[in-house]
Amino acid sequence: MKKIQIFLMLLIGLIGANVADGQDLQFVETSDIQQAMLEYKNRYQGDTDLPGYRIQYLFTTDRREMENEQKKFLEQYKSIPNEWVHDQPYYRLYAGSFVDRSAAMQLLIQIRENFPSALLVNSRVTVEQVLECRQNLR
């Protein structure tokens, strides 16, 4: 039994030595792979949007109501970035920009104290919006 163990140890040692010498691996990309990588780079090079989350705290058709709610929001949450979007005939008020769902949920819990109809929505967010939101929430 000991002879088998010694033999296996020597065999593993020799294989390990050969693997260590094989560190000079080279990968050759085919032209198809190079073309696919180039197309991917060109398609997404200028794309600064990321899939993320925002908190929608108002959805209405009344512009005055939207303006009053936004003013109320700004009085209570000065540091949270927010904006309104007019998607005719609706006005939507959004707060925050996140790529992390758990961070968005934490803010949603706080906002629901004063805006009970607030909800988390999927949205395209820019890197700049996410960084601004992170900075302001610290």
Measured in degrees and rounded to the nearest 5, phi and psi for residue 22 equal: -85, 30
Q: Is 10 helix (H, G, I), strand (E, B) or coil?
A: helix
Is residue 66 classed exposed, middle or buried when 0-12, 13-18 and 19+ CB atoms within 10 A define those classes? buried
Helices (H) and strands (E) in the chain, counts: 5, 4
pTM score:
0.65
Residue 97 — pLDDT band, cuts 50, 70, 90? very high
Exposure pattern of 16-44 as b/e (b: 16+ CB <10 Å)? eeeeeeeeeeeeeeeeeeeeeeeeeeeee
Task: Output the pLDDT for position 70.
Answer: 95
The mean per-residue pLDDT over the stretch 91-110 comes to 94
Of 50, 30, 49, 32, the C-alpha closest to 40 is 32
Task: Output the pLDDT for position 27.
Answer: 73
Tens of pLDDT, residues 107-133 = 999 999 999 999 999 999 998 999 899
Tens of pLDDT, residues 32-87 = 888 888 887 777 677 778 899 999 999 999 999 999 999 999 999 999 999 999 99
